[in-house]
Chain A
Amino acid sequence: GAGVSQTPSNKVTEKGKYVELRCDPISGHTALYWYRQSLGQGPEFLIYFQGTGAADDSGLPNDRFFAVRPEGSVSTLKIQRTERGDSAVYLCASSSDGLAGGNYNEQFFGPGTRLTVL
């Protein structure tokens, strides 16, 4: 696609439910990042994939959060037993590896999924 896409754009759920957030990166981008952004704050790193593997998951707040990228393209962020504190905008970004002429330094962000846990 032309840019990073994320679905759904908005998700309202009840406390204790399970949610999945999807990210479709720019075609050919090997690196994919998930961030979480609360109102009035900067994005907070969650996890980074290089290809299919999670290269750094140090930002995941606890074991209720999990992310996969089975074919090295689309990624899904999964949140179990949601809590009200999980309410935020979840941003996905992708970047090239720079080998094919892309700018490795630039991360392209998707529009985000606004998650509200009631």
Chain B
Amino acid sequence: AQKITQTQPGMFVQEKEAVTLDCTYDTSDQSYGLFWYKQPSSGEMIFLIYQGSYDEQNATEGRYSLNFQKARKSANLVISASQLGDSAMYFCAMRETRTDSWGKFQFGAGTQVVVTP
């Protein structure tokens, strides 16, 4: 069963605007971590931001913030003041902590973001 769902295959955003990338997840664990990665056209996977399930505050890293709504099981990435260099594929991922999930790290299908001038 798909544990991470990203419903937006692609989106356009204008430079300097904010964009929200949706991510919902499914887990029965109480302790888990949510991650966002960026993959530019060059192909490498770049870690952006992390949110723990017990964190009471939403994570922020520079222009990236994570809108974490635990009851809804959503972890949306917000990119503020978009730049041309933000054009990339973005992946949401989850790490669970129960014994039979050690080592597993699951990804959504990704959202392709194109920033236009």
Q: Do A and B bind each other?
A: no
A: residues with CB less than 8 A from B are: none
